[in-house]
Structure 1
C-alpha cells in the first residue's frame, strides 16, 4: 500500500529541493531521487496535516481563476519557460487560495515524477476531459506549447461569451423580478386597503377595479400555495431533465422555440466547431476528437447527433456525410465547410474559422434578443401600472360625481 512521504534533497550544485511523493517505501523515494542526480538529506512519512492539505481534490476553482491559469500558463510555456517553473510562478501569483492549493498539488505531482497530464487527472472534477486529452497529445507529440495556446483560446472565448450572455440578461431579469415584486406588494398590501373604504360605501366598482380586486384576493389567499407549487414544478423539472429521455425531450422543446432555439443552436455549433477544430489541428485522432466534443456539448440533441456521427465515421464514412443526416441541427453551410476541409486536408482550420463566424452571429443574435426583450418588459410594466391606476382612480372619480 502506497503512502505519502516528504523528502529533502540537494542537487550537484547544492540547490535544495523539498517535496512530497506517493510511494510504497522510503527506499523507492530514495531510488527515484538518486536516479535524477539528487543527494538525499531526509525522507520521512508526511505528517497527517500535510496529507489533509495536499489531499483536497474537491476544491472549487472559479471559471475566472481557471481562465487566468490557462492564459498565463500558455504564455509562459510559449515563451520557453519550463513547465514546473511556470506552475511554481503561477502558484505564487494565483488570485485565490483554491487555485494556489491546486497548483501546489500539481507541482508536487510533477516533482514526484508524474507527467503533467497524470497530475491533472487527479483533479478531473476541475479540469475537463478535453483539456487532459489535449495535454496528453501535446506531451506525446512534443507540441505542449501549441496545445496549451489553442486550449487557452477555446476557454477564453467560451468564458467571454458566457460573461456576455450573463451581462446581457442582468437588466431584463432585474426588471422582471422588480416588476413581479412590486405587483405582489401592491396587490397584497396596498390595493385592498384603498378599495376597502370604497366598498364600504356600497358603491359599484368599475370593471378594471373588479378585475384587479379579484386578482388581489386570489394572490392574497393562495400566495403560499403558488410559491410551493413553483418550487415543486422546479424540482420536477430538474428531476425529469436528469433522466436521459426526459432531458432529451426538454432539450427538443427548447430548440423548437424560435428565439431560444436559435440561440441554443448557435451556441452548440460554436462549441462543436471550435473544439473539434482545435483538437484536429493539434493532431488528435478524429474519433478521439469527436468523442471529446460529444462530452462538451450541453444539449442532448447535439450529443446524440455527434454520437451518431462518431459511429458513422468509425464505419468509414466522412464527417460531412455523417453530419448531413442531422440538417435540423447542422445547416448546409456547416456541412459544406466540413466537406471542403476534408477535400483540402485543412478540416481543423476550416472548423476553427467556422467557429469564429458563428460566434459573431451568436453575439449579434443575443444582442437582438435582449433589445427585443427590454421594451417588452417595459410595455408590460407600463400596462400593469396603467391598469392599477385605472382600478384605483375610476372609483374615486365615480365617488366625486355622486358627491356633486
Structure 2
C-alpha cells in the first residue's frame, strides 16, 4: 500500500514540475461584444488554454502551438530574474519621452535596449525584432504576460491605433505605480495573519500527533479512569489524524488542484465573483478594486482621445470582475448610442453613489476622461487607507483566535495531569 502511495505521489509531483514547462500557444478569439482579440498564452494543452481563455471572458476559435524556437525562449525566460516595477516604469517613461520627441518606435526600442540589464534586454531585443518584422508593438508585448499584463498590452494597442501612444504610456506609469502600491499593501495586510495561521496549524498538528497521545496513554495506564471530555475529544482527533493523515493530505492536494482548475473556468470565475460581492469586507475590496480598475483604464483611454465605443471594448477585455463585465456588455450598445455611462454604471450595483455623481458631472462638463481618472485615484487612495487600517486590526484578532485554540489544546493536555496528581500514591 505504501509503495502504491509513493508511486502516486511521484507522478503527482512530476505533473506539477511539468506545469512549469508549458508550451506557448497563439490564440484568436472574440470577446462578448464580437471584437476580435489575439495574443499568446502558456498552457499545458490546447484544452487547458481554451478553458483559461474562457475564464477571461473570451471565446477562442483558433489556438495554435507556437514554433519550437518560441517555446525554447519561453522556457529560458522561466529562469530569468523577474523584471522589477522600477525597471518597467523606467522603460515606459523613457519610451514615452522618445515618442513625444518624434522618434520612431523601432528606433526608440533600439536606443532603449542598451539601457537595461541582461534579462530585460533580451526581452526588448525580441520585441524589437518582432516590430521590425512588421508585427505590432502590442502583439509583441503580449508574448510576455508575466512582464506586461493584459491591461498594459491593451492600452498600448489603443495607443498605437490612436497615434497617441506617448500619452497613454505617461498615464500607464501612474497606473502601474499605484496598482503596485495597493498590491503590496494588500499583501502586507494578509501576510501576517497567514503566517500566524500557518504557525498555529503546525503547532496544533505537533500537539495532537506527539504530545496528546503520550499524555493520554500515560494517564490511562496509571489511573484506570475516564479521560476528561476535552482531552477525550483531542484523543479521538489525534487517533483519526494519525490513522488517515496520508489520505488527508492527498485529498487536500487534489482539492486544491480541482479548485484551481474550477476558478479558471468561466462558470467558476462568475461564481467566485458573485460570492465575493456578497461577503462582508471582501465585498468592499472586490467592488472598490473593480471601480478603480474600470475608472482608471477608461479614463486613460478617453483622456488620450480614444472614442467611447473602442474604449469600452478595451475595458471589457481588461476588467477582472465578471459581474461588472456582463452588465457592461449588456448595456454597451445603449451607452454608445446615448453617449452616457453614469446611469448604466449605477445599475451594476458596484459603483458607489458618490462615484456615479462624479462621473455624471464629468459627462455633463465634457471632461469624462479627467473625472474618471479622479474617481480611480480617489478610490485607490481610499483602498490603501482601509488596507493600512486592517493591518493594525486583523493581526491582533487572528493572534487572539489562535491563542484560544492552542490554549484549549494545552488545557486539555494538562487536565489529565492535574487529575493524576489526585490519584492515591501521587
Shared fold, TM over 0.5 = yes
C-alpha deviations, 1:56-111, integer Å up to 9, x for none? Answer: 467458874465234333235326483445433443343452x2222012223445
Please list every run of 5 or more consecutive structure 2 residues that lacks an aligned counterpart in the other structure: 1-67
The count of corresponding residues between Structure 1 and Structure 2 is 352
Could you tell me how far apart the structure 1 residues matched to 2:71 and 2:253 are? 39
Change beyond 3 A, Cα 1:340–1:363 = same
Could you tell me how far apart the structure 2 residues matched to 1:397 and 1:136 are? 73
Change beyond 3 A, Cα 1:310–1:292 = same
Contact 1:77 1:86 in 2 (8 A): no
Counterpart in the other structure of 1:368: 389
Offset at 1:393? 2.0
Aligned: 1:176 with 2:197: yes
C-alpha deviations, 1:205-246, integer Å up to 9, x for none? Answer: 222222222221222222223223323332333333233333
Aligned: 1:163 with 2:163: no
Counterpart in the other structure of 1:34: none
TM-score, normalised with respect to structure 1: 0.77
Could you tell me how far apart the structure 1 residues matched to 2:134 and 2:269 are? 43
Please list every run of 5 or more consecutive structure 1 residues that lacks an aligned counterpart in the other structure: 1-50
Could you tell me how far apart the structure 2 residues matched to 1:368 and 1:125 are? 30
Could you tell me how far apart the structure 1 residues matched to 2:204 and 2:150 are? 47
1:384 to 405, 410, 413: 405
Aligned: 1:400 with 2:426: no
Could you tell me how far apart the structure 1 residues matched to 2:298 and 2:329 are? 13
Could you tell me how far apart the structure 2 residues matched to 1:314 and 1:237 are? 38
Could you tell me how far apart the structure 2 residues matched to 1:388 and 1:312 are? 61
TM-score, normalised with respect to structure 2: 0.74
SS in 1 for 2:338: coil
Counterpart in the other structure of 1:200: 221
Aligned: 1:216 with 2:235: no
Contact 2:296 2:376 in 1 (8 A): yes
Could you tell me how far apart the structure 1 residues matched to 2:311 and 2:171 are? 14
Change beyond 3 A, Cα 1:53–1:223 = closer
Change beyond 3 A, Cα 1:55–1:111 = farther
Counterpart in the other structure of 1:281: 303
C-alpha deviations, 1:158-203, integer Å up to 9, x for none? Answer: 1222122223322111111111011112111222112211111213
C-alpha deviations, 1:295-334, integer Å up to 9, x for none? Answer: 22222112212222323213435111221222x2122122
Aligned: 1:88 with 2:107: no
Change beyond 3 A, Cα 1:73–1:263 = closer
CA RMSD of aligned residues (A): 2.9
Could you tell me how far apart the structure 2 residues matched to 1:333 and 1:341 are? 12
User: Where do 1:103-114 residues align within 5 Å?
Assistant: 103-111=124-132
Could you tell me how far apart the structure 2 residues matched to 1:130 and 1:360 are? 20
